[in-house]
Chains A and B, each alone.
Chain A
Amino acid sequence: MRYITPRKAAEGLGSAHSGTQHHWAMTVTGVALAILTPLFMIVIARAIGLPRELVLAYFGRPFQALITGFFIIVGMLHFIKGTRIMIDDYFQGGVRKAAVIISVIFGWAVIALTVYALARMGLGAIVVL
């Protein structure tokens, strides 16, 4: 016998038992991105057109590196969960599985590449100091 009311057992769970967390994650990353988006636009706009040496120095600075890293990481996590909704809507079976796998790998690959590039630029500056 379960000493738990049906309401208590169902609370916070959608029909798929996980939609609430998904929706909440989209809300949290969305709010973060709403703040980061204008800052990221400024960072990128000021970097376009710089020669390579200045691009390396520019993204080695704390503000530029942190905004870029923060935006790309949170953005790709938002992307992974966002594409998942699209994939669930339009694809079934094996195609759906493959699309979800590709989307997750792509998202994390973009994060890894960004962190790698920013680390190379940032660490170079420390070595020079």
Chain B
Amino acid sequence: MADVNRGNRPLSPHLQVYRLPLAAITSIMTRITGHALVAGIVLIVWWLVAAVASPGAFACADWVMRSWIGFIVLTGSMWALWYHLLSGLRHIFFYDAGHGLEIAQAERSSQILIAGSVALAVLTLIIFFAF
């Protein structure tokens, strides 16, 4: 390795100074939404266990569930769930199957992924408050 010229080769940009392309952002967002969903699951399971535990425990969990904190966690989880679902479908039907891997195609599917998840989240909220 000693005789390899290391001086004037092009260097790959470091992650911290590299502006991530949209496809990379939607990719890492899949992992982030998947792990963030723990918050929603913990809240719902706590609420279910509190319901069978005692009236006092349920009152406490139900208060959190119906507070603005609960609204933010549940609405956020709902969007994260739609995002993660759509992204998972993209994996199964496109990336894992070897389709849509060109830069332009990945860019396009990323735009659809973001728009689709927001549209489904808004639709879910409308249906929730209308019925």
Interface residues of A (CB under 8 A from B): 23, 27, 30-31, 33-34, 37, 41, 44-45, 48-49, 52, 55-56, 59, 68, 72, 75-76, 79, 82-83, 86, 110, 113-114, 116-118, 120-121
Contacts and interface: CB of A to CB of B under 8 A. Distances in A.
B58 A83 contact: no
Contact of B78 (A30, A34, A41): A41
A37 B65 CA distance: 19
A67 B5 CA distance: 61
Contact of B38 (A48, A55, A79): A79
B55 A52 contact: yes
A69 B65 CA distance: 20
A30 B42 CA distance: 20
Contacts of B96: 23, 27
B62 interface: yes
A83 B85 contact: no
A82 B34 CA distance: 8
A75 B41 contact: yes
Interface residues of B, number: 32
Interface in B5-49: 31, 34-35, 37-38, 41-42, 44-45, 48-49
Nearest to B86: A34
Nearest to A106: B38
Interface in B68-90: 74, 78, 81-82, 85, 88-89
B66 to A, nearest CB: 7
Contact of A34 (B38, B52, B88): B88
Contact of A55 (B51, B81, B124): B51
Contact of B41 (A23, A37, A45, A72): A72
Interface string B49-64: 1011001001100100
Given A56-B51, A75-B41, A30 B92 contact: yes
A31 B49 CA distance: 27
A116 B58 CA distance: 15
24 contacts: A23-B96, A27-B96, A30-B88, A30-B91, A34-B88, A41-B78, A48-B65, A55-B51, A56-B52, A72-B41, A75-B41, A79-B38, A82-B35, A83-B35, A110-B42, A110-B45, A113-B49, A114-B45, A114-B48, A117-B49, A117-B51, A117-B52, A118-B48, A120-B52
A60 to B, nearest CB: 10
A82 B41 CA distance: 15
A116 B49 contact: yes
